[in-house]
């Protein structure tokens, strides 16, 4: 992790061995990152592919990666943020990075799958999908100081 962005939260999650395959926690009421869940969906990422850049003006993202390995990059261009201009890179996935990542509204994010197979992202945002509050930039946008 090259820097920390204000409002981004990371929580390590339990992987519980059981006969036949593990149980993996994602959202639990005891977690400080728990709250209303507006929708649940998955994004599969093929190895080496990049999905970037996205930003939500109102929705908070909550990501976990139960399959594969994900590199996710965050960029803060919020004028009112104490970490404005910062880039944050974080890995999600088993065995050593099974964790919940909370991305607050107005922080840009993108991700790619590292490793041999696809990565599966599960997102449990606080609000339901609303196409009017999602923003995008091209993967090679000059507005964001990160090279994929």
Interacting residues with its own copies (CB under 8 A) = 18-29, 37-46, 49-51, 66-67, 113, 118, 120, 122, 124, 128-129
- Rounded distance, CA 76 to CA 104, Å? 10
Q: Which lies closer to its own copies via its Cβ, residue 84 or residue 129?
A: 129
CB of 65 to its own copies, least distance (A): 10
Q: Which lies closer to its own copies via its Cβ, residue 51 or residue 78?
A: 51
CB of 85 to its own copies, least distance (A): 27
Query: Residue 127 burial by CB count (10 A; 0-12/13-18/19+): exposed, middle or buried?
Result: middle
Q: Which lies closer to its own copies via its Cβ, residue 36 or residue 79?
A: 36
Peptide bond into 71 cis (omega under 30): no
Q: In sequence order, what are the residues at sequence separation of 6 or more whose Cβ sits closer than 8 angstroms to the Cβ of residue 124?
A: 26, 27, 37, 39, 40, 62
Q: Which lies closer to its own copies via its Cβ, residue 10 or residue 27?
A: 27
CB of 38 to its own copies, least distance (A): 7
CB of 67 to its own copies, least distance (A): 5
131 phi, psi to nearest 5 deg: -60, -15
């Amino acid at each position: 992790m090259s820097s920390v962005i204000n409002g981004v939260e990371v929580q390590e999650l339990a992987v519980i061995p059981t006969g036949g395959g593990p149980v993996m926690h994602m959202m639990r009421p005891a977690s400080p990152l728990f709250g209303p869940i507006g929708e649940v969906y998955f994004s599969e990422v093929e190895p080496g592919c990049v999905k970037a850049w996205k930003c939500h003006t109102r929705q908070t993202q909550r990501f976990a990666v139960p399959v594969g390995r994900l590199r996710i990059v965050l960029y803060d261009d919020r004028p009112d943020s104490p970490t404005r201009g910062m880039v944050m890179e974080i890995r999600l996935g088993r065995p050593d990075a099974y964790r919940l990542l909370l991305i607050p509204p107005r922080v840009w994010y993108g991700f790619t799958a590292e490793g041999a197979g696809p990565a599966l992202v599960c997102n449990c945002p606080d609000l339901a999908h609303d196409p009017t509050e999602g923003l995008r930039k091209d993967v090679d946008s000059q507005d964001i100081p990160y090279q994929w």
